[in-house]
Chain A
């Protein structure tokens, strides 16, 4: 794997808000190409601001951000044209899917919506056609190409929004609570698309409030008061139950059950998130107690 993104002392203060308290403060991290990272934190913890810095929707007010070798920092004395070029290059590499499925689609026909980005790249029309078909296939929505977005379910709309981002051939996609407004079926659809794209090599950053969703990533970053509090694989992160609760987060139900049984004196591991694995551990414990 090679490095895709690097934040060094990354800081952001919203102008005229919060008395100059940074929304993101001194964050240091690197993300490798092809990683699947979940970002957790309560509302106002800085996780969405962080995501917006990662694709330069916001420009850092301190420290630096480097995306695929393109570095941006506040003291950058690049002129406006150079800066614009940098921002543009980063946006092409890092796509973003937002929360509300109804706010992201602009065209009245699904395939036209997906074609919107590639058209702005000035590609020839057969290349646009190819990209649109490929992107709709990738999210399993080819059959809806001629439909109006209005007639789609929330999950389907989000998949079209993802196709629109994919059609730009980004190396990384950030999902900013993209499952929050969906029903369970829609959530499953979007998660499965997210994971199949990651298997194809796309770097996925998933901001979510659902602990069970975060547990599916390879790595979890926990934000609190603008700072990065924890960074590690799900098993390590969810082992820190008390710390997570302290900052208003939870752990998956399977993790919580093992944590409680452990607190009652039983020898069970922390950080297990998979209900199946947890059930096996508990069943083994039960047999042990019964047959000793």
Chain B
């Protein structure tokens, strides 16, 4: 795709191995080149060990490539290795199960921790904390509570708010909805979706859930065996059913259903990987009655 102009981050021919020089050497990324579009929500999927967690850590400079280069806004992030920590203000990373990293007296202080380190004036810290909490779907009355009195889903949202408050240009989240119940998943993912849309922040979402990807992402990168298997818009990627299944990934149940309907001669069209999309297409076919036959 010739959209490099709009890219905010790019991995260019990047390789990374764990345990290099030992018999246990494992290639986590093998000559990977992939770009991320500015202002879009990109999903990264792949089964455990496919290299996706390594990829996100390379994006914000937590890991340094063995070979190849990582570009942020067109500049090699390792050009001046001593300045790598500055990159983390631009590319914020929410690790898996971030709620274990909450520590402060109140939720408000926890969310504002990074901002105090930036020595921002208190009024600005307060405003940013409230804004971030709202985006993360955290009600304001919870801000005065101890983080340890929150439910699991609320803790998760507090941790996400802490990174949003830093206003990074790119927000990378590794499995932000893992282990949450359906309502908790929806709250956090729809909040992130709205945040990305309204603030123009680039969001990169790592997840195992194809259903979630289908609902919230513009683009999808599929990792398999340390390489990029598929990379395209959500519709493009979900049309490659057999490759997804071969990579050990699930396709949404609704995609299976619509594939069967197509095979049975029901001429569906449009978005066939969300319930809403299939519903829309069916209603228009059925509503027209004989006209569509």
Contact = CB atoms under 8 A, between A and B. Distances in A.
21 contacts: A183-B208, A184-B47, A249-B181, A249-B182, A250-B182, A253-B252, A254-B254, A257-B282, A260-B275, A261-B283, A275-B253, A275-B256, A275-B257, A276-B260, A279-B257, A279-B261, A282-B282, A283-B265, A283-B266, A285-B286, A286-B285
Contacts of B261: 279, 282-283, 286
The secondary-structure label for the interface of chain A is: helix
Q: Which 9 A-B pairs have the closest CB atoms?
A: A248-B183, A290-B293, A279-B260, A283-B264, A184-B250, A275-B257, A185-B248, A183-B47, A253-B254
B289 interface: yes
B66 interface: no
A252 B253 CA distance: 8
A180 B178 CA distance: 7
Nearest to B261: A279
A244 to B, nearest CB: 9
A185 B257 contact: no
B153 to A, nearest CB: 6
A289 interface: yes
A81 interface: no
Nearest to A180: B179
Interface of A: 41-44, 99, 153-155, 177, 180-186, 209, 211-212, 248-250, 252-254, 256-257, 260-261, 264, 266, 275-276, 278-280, 282-283, 285-286, 289-292
Contacts of B248: 183-185
Nearest to B211: A253
Contacts of A252: 253
B102 interface: no
Contacts of B285: 286
B266 to A, nearest CB: 5
Contacts of B283: 261, 264
Query: Of residues A153, A185, A291, which shows the largest number of chain B Cβ atoms within 10 Å of its Cβ?
Result: A185
A192 B249 CA distance: 16
B292 A257 contact: no
Contacts of B74: none
Given A185-B47, A249-B182, A279 B254 contact: no
A177 B152 CA distance: 14
A230 to B, nearest CB: 16
Nearest to B285: A286
A45 to B, nearest CB: 8
Interface in B268-293: 275, 278-279, 282-283, 285-286, 289-290, 292-293
B153 A43 contact: yes
B18 to A, nearest CB: 12
A260 B282 CA distance: 11
Nearest to A287: B265
A212 B264 CA distance: 23
A248 B181 contact: yes
Interface in B69-94: none
Interface string B47-78: 11100000000000000000000000000000
Interface string B231-250: 00000000000000000111
A290 B292 contact: yes
B109 to A, nearest CB: 24
A215 to B, nearest CB: 10
A209 B266 contact: no
B249 A184 contact: yes
B178 A256 contact: no
A283 B263 CA distance: 10
A289 B286 contact: yes
A236 B153 CA distance: 29
B254 A286 contact: no
Query: Of residues A44, A181, A182, A291, which shows the largest number of chain B Cβ atoms within 10 Å of its Cβ?
Result: A181
Given A42-B181, A182-B48, A257-B279, 11 more contacts: A41-B181, A43-B151, A185-B248, A209-B181, A256-B275, A257-B282, A261-B282, A275-B254, A282-B266, A283-B261, A283-B265
A42 B49 CA distance: 30
A90 B210 CA distance: 39
Contacts of B47: 183-186
B184 interface: yes
Contact of B257 (A186, A248, A257): A257
A283 B258 CA distance: 10
A275 B208 CA distance: 20
B180 interface: yes
A175 to B, nearest CB: 14
